[in-house]
Amino acid sequence: MDKKLQATAHAGLDRPPVGAALIGLGEISEPHIHGLIEAREDVRFVAVCDISAERANAVAQRIGAKAYTDYRDILADPEIEAVDLPLPHHLHFEVASSALEAGKHVLLEKPMAPSIQECEALAALARRKGLTLGVAENTPFVPAYVEAKALLDSGALGTLRSVRTLISGSEVHRLRDTSNWKGRTAGSIGGAIFDAGPHSFFLLNWMFGGIATIRAVTAKLVEEAEVEDNALVNGRLNSGALFSSEFTFTAEIPWGERLEIYGSAGSIVIDHLLNPSFVHYRGGSDISGARGAADPDPKYWKARSIAAGVGGFMAAVRRGLPAPVSPQAGTDAIRAVMAAYESVSKGGLEVKLSTSSKAR
């Protein structure tokens, strides 16, 4: 950390904890609640909001916070300095831009916004207002990924040759429910690529130095859905290595992620549903490999990383530091999403990308 940042970080500790509110109390809200509670040194958890009054009241009572049903009332509350937004995709831009206009720091769930232009507009607005905008991308808070990145950066894997990622689980129930935003174009904007793609594309940018070209094909297996529920994406990284990323929302298996990294001096396989979940192979004859230090945790790895990301963002706000996952990194992930959709619209043709981001 440079001297200027170090001084700012230290100065931030004299500030009182950040008054924070959570807007959106759905499926993924629990790890966000935990993140805000666990970061109590940096956060005063002031309020929660959901259009469901029942949900808002129940959570507010449980954690001892105020309950709101209209997010505009949160934005008018002077006690609240920062908002955390795990909301349906079509609300990301509207609520985030209103919050920034109202002078609140914003942590926005992925996918950052429905278009590159909207991502850039949010970043510009945050800069103009002098506020912190971050993306709740949990990938850099997953211990197994941090461990893999350290090994890769140390040169232990040699030259990177190829990378494979998989995100799998079942959204079949929500996709079949025509009243749920998840399967609707108007609510979700896109399907498996828009929803899960930002995780893998962030990972490819953050760990491997960015994506150069993309090709993609999709399928829609759930009849009632308007958006794709499966996608195969592949291409070339800026380093010249190949990648392939698979997203499936129709896999009847606990939600999980798999990452395979193949280098000239060894490989790493991470699979959050397996134990060991992290194995480092030093070559073709290294049959058993070495297990990583990161604890296998098939049930809570995701929730823990989301909670850690929320805490990391609030700590950054309090100290006046940049968000752990920057608007630039969130935008670059959306850039890859859009390139994948462009490829789909061209029947799977290769699309060139110009992501600069190696940063978070």
Ligand X SMILES: NC(=O)c1ccc[n+]([C@@H]2O[C@H](COP(=O)([O-])OP(=O)(O)OC[C@H]3O[C@@H](n4cnc5c(N)ncnc54)[C@H](O)[C@@H]3O)[C@@H](O)[C@H]2O)c1
Identify which range of 10-18, 21-29, 153-161, 279-287 contacts ligand X by CB under 6 A.
21-29
- In whole angstroms, give the CA distance from residue 178 to residue 175: 7
C-alpha to C-alpha distance for 211 and 167, rounded to whole angstroms: 18
Query: Which residue number has the CB closest to ligand X?
Result: 26
Q: Which of residues 239-268 bind ligand X (CB under 6 A)?
A: none
Tell me the C-alpha distance between 151 and 269, whole Å: 12
Our finding on whether 138 is near ligand X (CB under 6 A) is yes
Check residue 311 for interaction with ligand X (CB under 6 A): no
> What is each CA distance from 139 to 115, 135, 191, 248, 346, in whole angstroms?
21, 11, 20, 18, 30
Closest CB to ligand X among 160 and 192?
192
Give the separation between CA 217 and CA 346, rounded to whole angstroms. 10
From 48-56, 289-297, 317-325, 348-356, give the range in contact with ligand X by CB under 6 A.
Answer: 48-56
By CB under 6 A, tell whether 273 contacts ligand X: no
Q: How far apart are CA 154 and CA 56, in angstroms?
A: 47
Residue type, 349: L
| Among 2, 14, 27, 252, interactor with ligand X by CB under 6 A | 27
Q: Which of 20, 33, 49, 321 binds ligand X (CB under 6 A)?
A: 49
How many of the other CB atoms lie within 10 Å of CB of 14?
Answer: 7
Phi, psi (rounded to 5 degrees) for 193: -70, -45
Pick from 35, 86, 210, 311: which binds ligand X (CB under 6 A)? 86
**Can you tell me which of 214, 306, 310, 314 binds ligand X, judged by CB under 6 A?**
306
Indicate whether 25 belongs to the interface with ligand X (CB under 6 A): yes
Residue 351 CB, nearest distance to ligand X (Å)? 23
Q: Name 165's bridge partners.
A: 245, 259
In the complex, what is the shortest distance from the CB of residue 20 to ligand X, in angstroms, rounded to a whole number?
A: 15
- Asked if residue 51 binds ligand X (CB under 6 A), the reply is yes
23 binds ligand X (CB under 6 A): yes
User: From CA 260, how far away is CA 263, in angstroms rounded?
Assistant: 10
Shortest CB 284 distance to ligand X, Å = 34
In the complex, least distance from residue 196 CB atom to ligand X, rounded to whole angstroms: 9
82-85 β-sheet, strand order: 66-68, 43-49, 18-23, 82-85, 105-108, 133-135
2 contacts ligand X (rule: CB under 6 A): no
With CA atoms as reference, report the closest residue to 213 among 348, 360, 358, 359.
348
Q: Is 195 in the site for ligand X (CB under 6 A)?
A: yes
Any contact of residue 24 with ligand X (CB under 6 A)? Answer: yes
Q: Does residue 71 bind ligand X (CB under 6 A)?
A: yes
Give CA 311 to chain center in angstroms. 14
Candidate segments 80-88, 117-125, 244-252, 264-272, binder of ligand X by CB under 6 A: 80-88
Binding residue for ligand X (CB under 6 A) from 17, 19, 28, 358? Answer: 28
Residue 91 contacts ligand X per CB under 6 A = yes
Which H or E run contains 228?
Answer: none
Smallest separation, CB 153 to ligand X (Å) = 24
Q: Which stretch binds ligand X (CB under 6 A): 4-12, 26-34, 240-248, 258-266?
A: 26-34
Name residue, tokens 């399928």.
219
| H-type alpha helices, 13-142 | 29-38, 53-63, 71-75, 92-101, 116-129
- Footprint on this chain of ligand X (rule: CB under 6 A): 23-29, 49-52, 55, 71, 86-89, 91, 109-110, 136, 138, 195, 302, 306
